[in-house]
Structure 1
C-alpha cells in the first residue's frame, strides 16, 4: 500500500520569499531532494538557491535521505531561505585559476611594455617561474573540469569576487609583477642547487597533489554527495595531504624565484589551508567516528 503524503508547514527564513506557500505536501518516503525540487517549483526559484532547515538544523539536498529519516512528519515546520543568485562551484574554480593562468604569461611576454629598462631577455629563473606557475594552474583547471566532484553544487554568486582576490591578486598580479621585473632577484642567475631543489619539490608536490585529488574523487560517486574515509599517500600523516603537497609545490616555486611576493602568497595560502584542514578534521571525526584515525596535528602539520 502506497504511503500517503504528509503536510509540512513552511515559513521564510530571513528575506520573505513571495511565492512560498504556507504549507507543502511530500511523501514521507520521498527524498529531501524531492522536497527541494517541490519547493523550487512552487517558489519559482532554482533548488540550489534554497536552503531548508528544521529547528535550526540544515536539511541536505540529498536523494539518499528520506523525509522521514530527516526527522520530518505531518505538521512539521520547515524554514526556507533564499540564498540569492548562485554560481556553480566548478565555474568558480575555473574563473579563480584563470587569473594567474593569464597574468603570468602576459607579464612574461610583455616585459618591455610593462617595465622600463627591460631590454634584455627574461632570465632562466624568470622563465622557469613562468613555466612552473603556468603548469600549476593548467593542472588546477584540468582537475576542476575532469577530476573534482563537488559536495555542494553552487555558492552565492557575490562571493566570486572575494574568492578570486586570492588568486588574481596574490598569486597573479603580486607574484608576477615582482618576479618578471628586470630589477627582481629572479632576474639574476641564482644558486643552481637551489633551483634544482625547487624543481624537484615542485614536481613531487604537483604529482602527489594530483594523486590525492584522484583518491578523494574515487570516494564519491558521480553526482553523489557521500563522504568516505580517505586512505593512501599522505593521509596517514595529515588530514588533508592535498594541502600539504600544494605547500611543497609552492615552496619549490619559491626556491626558484626567491621572491618575497611568493613567500607572502605561500604564508597566506598556508594559513588558509590549515584552517580548512582543521574544519575537515572535525568533520571526519564527527561523521566517521571510529573509522577515522584521528591525527594528532591534522591542520598544524601543514
Structure 2
C-alpha cells in the first residue's frame, strides 16, 4: 500500500531490484546501530580499547592512514561519477547537486584527516576495509539509483534546494565542531578531555548531529527511497554511537556534566 505523503516526497522506484537494495541497505545500517547499543562497537577512535578484555586482532595501520582508506574510495567514486554520468545537456540540476554533495562530503573528510584531526594509536586494517566498502557502496548506490530515476516524474514536493541548504549547514556545523575537538589537545598531548564550546555544552557529539544533518540534506536533494534509507540507517548508527560515547565519558570523567545529552540538545 502506498502512503500518499511519501509519494509526494519521493521518486517511484524504477524496479523491484532497487526496492530490494533499499530494504537491504536499511536493514544493514540499522543493524550497525543496534550492534553499537549492545556494546559490539566498531573498533576505532576511543572504542579501540573497549570495556571488554579482548583486544582487536589483525594488521594495524596508523589512524591517519586508516581514515584516508576509509574515505578516499567514496570520494573517488563521486569524482568518477561526473565522467561516467556527465551532463547530457538536459540540465538535470538535481542529479548534479547530488553528485556534488556526496563528492564534496568525502573530499572534506579527506582534507580533515590530512590537515585538521590529530590522531593517536592505530586501526585494524580489516575493519578499515569493511567500513570503506560500506561508504563506497553507499556513494555508488546513491548515484546509480538516482541515475535510474532520470526520466521518472518528479515528486510533487521539490526538496532539492532546501536539501542543499541543509547539506551546507551540516557541513559547516560538522567542521566547526571538529575544529573544537582538535583545539582540546595541546601539541604532543594524546589524552581525552571533556569537549567544550559550541553545541558541546549541550550534547557530547554535535559533530555526529551535523553529520546526520548532512545526510538529511543529501536525501532531500535526491528524494529517492534509497537515499532516505541511507539517511535513516546512518542516523540510527550515529545516535547509538553518541549514546555509547556519552556513557564512555561518564565512566571516564567523574565531573562530566549531567545536563549534556548524547546528540539531540535537551532531548537525547
Normalized against structure 2, the TM-score is what? 0.71
How far has the Cα of 1:119 moved from its partner? 6.0
Superposition map of 1:141-220 within 5 A: 141-151=110-120, 153-170=121-138, 172-181=139-148, 183=150, 188=154, 194-220=159-185
Aligned length: 217
Matching of residue 294 in structure 1 with residue 258 in structure 2? yes
Counterpart of 2:40 in structure 1 is none
Deviations 1:68-99 (A, max 9, x none): xxxxxxxxxxxxx7944211221122122112
Closer, same or farther: CA 189–274 of 1 in aligned 2, 3 Å: closer
Retained in 2: the 8 A contact 1:205–1:246? yes
Counterpart of 2:17 in structure 1 is none
Question: C-alpha distance in 2, partners of 1:119/1:168?
Answer: 25
SS of the equivalent of 2:199 reads coil
Retained in 1: the 8 A contact 2:81–2:99? no
Counterpart of 2:75 in structure 1 is 101
Retained in 2: the 8 A contact 1:149–1:222? no
Matching of residue 123 in structure 1 with residue 87 in structure 2? no
How far has the Cα of 1:214 moved from its partner? 0.5
Choose which of 63, 79, 84 in structure 2 pairs with 1:89: 63
Deviations 1:142-164 (A, max 9, x none): 1011111124x212222222121
How far has the Cα of 1:184 moved from its partner? 6.6
Superposition map of 1:1-16 within 5 A: none
More strand by share: 1
Question: C-alpha distance in 2, partners of 1:122/1:248?
Answer: 27
More helix by share: 2
Flag the structure with larger Rg.
1
Retained in 2: the 8 A contact 1:212–1:242? yes
Normalized against structure 1, the TM-score is what? 0.63
Point out where structure 1 has 5 or more consecutive residues left out of the alignment. Answer: 1-50, 59-80, 113-117
CA RMSD of aligned residues (A): 3.0
Retained in 1: the 8 A contact 2:212–2:238? no
How far has the Cα of 1:120 moved from its partner? 5.4
Question: C-alpha distance in 2, partners of 1:254/1:269?
Answer: 12
Retained in 2: the 8 A contact 1:229–1:284? yes
Question: C-alpha distance in 1, partners of 2:156/2:66?
Answer: 37
Closer, same or farther: CA 93–82 of 1 in aligned 2, 3 Å: closer
